[in-house]
Amino acid sequence: MKRAALKLLWCAILLCMAVLAQGGRAFMQAEEIKLTITPAKAFFLPGETAVFVIEANGGARVEAVITHLAETVDTMGANLIDGKAELRWTPPVIAPRGYGLTVRVFDQEDNILAVKSSAFDVLAHWLQAPRYGFLSQFESGRSDMAETMAANARYHVNGLQFYDWQYRHEELFPPTEDYSDLLGRRMSLDTVRQLIDAAHTRNIATMPYTAIYGASVAFYRAHPEMALFESNDQPYEFGDNFLIIMDPSPASPWSDHLMGEFGRVLDNLPFDGIHLDQYGAPKSGYNAAGERVDLAEAIPGFINRTAEVVQNRRGDQGAVIFNAVGNWPVDTVAPADQDAVYIEVWEPYSKFMDLHRLVSRAETLGGGKPVIIAAYIHPENSHNVRLANAVIFASGGTHLELGEPGAMLADPYFPKFGMMDESMQAVMQSYYDFLVRYEELLTLDTTNAPDRAKALTIEGMPAGNMRSQDQVAVIARQGVGFEVFSLINFMGIDTGRWATAVTKAPDPLANLPVKLHTDRPVVRVWSASPDGDQVAAQPISFTHGQDETGATITFNLPRLDYWTMIVVEYSS
């Protein structure tokens, strides 16, 4: 009997091992399915059919669900042929609007092998919802144009700054097809043209970098009357014998010269506008006649003249963007004739929540213009990138950081970019998908609401919108019939400075008891997050209540890693 029982036991063990082995192989197969979703374009124009190329290294067919905010609007499917399928869907002619896309891969027996989310949007112009990126490599023989733009389309980057593409600061258009820039980098006009053309096939705008007042030493010596002086005979210099600062006053001969250069560039290359840079200093000086020049007053006029040049050559589709270095002089340039408020962040704006304050104020000063933040963070500091993007996106802004394949801006000299590993690329994909999927809640149909941020509290947890460490930051935005509360987790991080490496992830938080003060009738509450698998709308049950300050709703937030967005919808 003992031998028979032992034999039966071994048979049972072997059977279990066989079953587990089969299950393990099935699990490994599901895990090994690599699924890629590439939108045909970075965004789609009203009336344009949205096309997506799906690639999978296994499976028989794909099925996609399209959502708008918390609602499912359509489904579609296609068979995988040689690992590829094409999905096509014509959105309603409503712009701007963002959509979610969730793709599932099935085998022949209708088992789900892989699931992945993406997003897309419909815009009349890229600057309705800009995702500004960069290119900095223009050498002869570059051959990855199509791959570069496909990668940008996957991240939904819809505008690219061509950084340091020019021949000289004072002579932008090169005299020959192959040329060297001021630093001796070998460049090619043919490469520039091919990159522009490849970008345009994906609905990606292209913007040539220019500087409003830099000129070579040789040019200054030939034209001293154009310079900006710190004393009667000493012009301002930038770098050691590198550039001389010229006078960008609207009526100066230098401005006349550079407007001619802008026109020449747009006449000879199909760029979509002009990107204007400055160096943050000097802030004042003297022209050749000895008259004082206040650059905070002069630069808006320069921007307006540039806008006239662009309007004459590109019409309403053209664009002008100016860099407010260190947030200066944002008060005067934000209302000028530029199409976005672009801020390169430096001290004293060193904390994560400083990014929120910069975006919010720029949004107000610009009268609702989109806000673009340039804050350079190396991709190896992944916690910094995630927290900075959470703050910027939740505040209604976007972040200049992507563009060259697999790269992330890590330095103010753009060719010194850092490379993302696969894990970081996946994180960035999720955050940019989230930005596009919920753009109406984060940017388009909402405004900053700092007073409402104070209406949300978390029991037993420090929460507010000031500190960048040891609290859950609350950023609130309001729309018609709804409010959006972004919770950003700074608990447990070792620094609140965005440019100093955060060495550990925020402490993950679960089952947070949330109270929101509101006297409006709430009909629905839901959440979503770019972290983990919570990108789709997650319904939240809530309870009405009352405390000493008035009516409330209370609910539990299941999880907070880096950033979770809570949407509260009200009765009309």
Task: Give me the mean pLDDT over the 531-557 stretch.
Answer: 94
Beta strand 319-325 with 273-277: parallel, antiparallel or unpaired? parallel
Taking phi over 0 as left and psi of -120 to 50 as alpha, with beta for the rest, 450 belongs to: alpha
**Which residues are CB-contacts of 346 (< 8 A; sequence separation ≥ 6)?**
280, 325, 326
Mean pLDDT of the chain: 93
Give per-residue pLDDT as tens, 184-226: 999 999 999 999 999 999 999 999 999 999 999 999 999 999 9
Query: With respect to CATH, is domain 33-122 assigned 2.40.50.220?
Result: no
Burial 327-354 (b: 16+ CB within 10 A, else e): bbbbebbbebbbbbbbbbbbeebbbbbb
Please state, in angstroms and rounded to a whole number, the distance separating the CA atoms of residues 167 and 484: 46
Proportion of the chain above pLDDT 70, given as a percent: 95
127 within 8 A of 319, measured Cβ to Cβ: yes
Beta strand 35-39 with 159-162: parallel, antiparallel or unpaired? unpaired
Task: Give me the mean pLDDT over the 62-76 stretch.
Answer: 97
Give per-residue pLDDT as tens, 452-504: 999 999 999 888 778 899 999 999 999 999 999 999 999 999 999 999 999 99
Beta strand 159-162 with 178-180: parallel, antiparallel or unpaired? unpaired
Architecture of domain 447-570: Sandwich (2.60)
Q: Does the pLDDT value for residue 15 go beyond 60?
A: no
Please state, in angstroms and rounded to a whole number, the distance separating the CA atoms of residues 281 and 277: 12
Same fold flag, 33-122 and 447-570: yes
- Across-strand partners of 227? 246
Token digits of residue 510? 């679960």
Band (8; pLDDT cuts 50, 70, 90)? very low
Task: Give me the mean pLDDT over the 297-324 stretch.
Answer: 98
Q: What is the pLDDT of residue 463?
A: 86
3-class SS string, 122-160:
ECCCHHHCCCEEEECCCCCCCCCHHHHHHHHHHCCCCEE
Using the structure block, give the residue that is written with the tokens 């124009």.
45
Domain boundaries, the chain: 1-28, 33-122, 134-317, 447-570
Q: Does the pLDDT value for residue 314 go beyond 70?
A: yes
Give per-residue pLDDT as tens, 290-307: 999 999 999 999 999 999
- Coil, strand, or helix at residue 281? coil
Give per-residue pLDDT as tens, 122-142: 999 999 999 999 999 999 999
User: Would you give the DSSP letter of residue 246?
Assistant: B
528 within 8 A of 438, measured Cβ to Cβ: yes
Task: Give me the mean pLDDT over the 416-433 stretch.
Answer: 97
Cα 488 vs. chain centroid, distance in angstroms?
A: 17
pTM exceeding 0.85:
yes
Q: Does the pLDDT value for residue 537 go beyond 90?
A: yes
Token digits of residue 361? 């104020």
Q: What is the pLDDT of residue 20?
A: 36
Q: What is the pLDDT of residue 13?
A: 36
Proportion of the chain above pLDDT 90, given as a percent: 90
Q: What is the pLDDT of residue 464?
A: 78
Task: Give me the mean pLDDT over the 271-289 stretch.
Answer: 96
Q: What is the pLDDT of residue 31?
A: 52
137 within 8 A of 146, measured Cβ to Cβ: no
Please tell me the class of the 134-317 domain: alpha beta
Task: Give me the mean pLDDT over the 565-570 stretch.
Answer: 98
Token digits of residue 442? 């984060």
Query: How many H-runs (helices) and E-runs (strands) does the chain carry?
Result: 12, 35
Q: What is the pLDDT of residue 528?
A: 98
Minimum mean pLDDT range among 30-39, 388-397, 398-407, 504-513: 30-39
Task: Give me the mean pLDDT over the 146-156 stretch.
Answer: 97
* DSSP per residue, 11-53: HHHHHHHHHHHHHHHHHHHHHH--EEEEESSSSB-TTPPEEEE
Please state, in angstroms and rounded to a whole number, the distance separating the CA atoms of residues 493 and 469: 7
Give per-residue pLDDT as tens, 336-346: 999 999 999 99
272 within 8 A of 206, measured Cβ to Cβ: yes
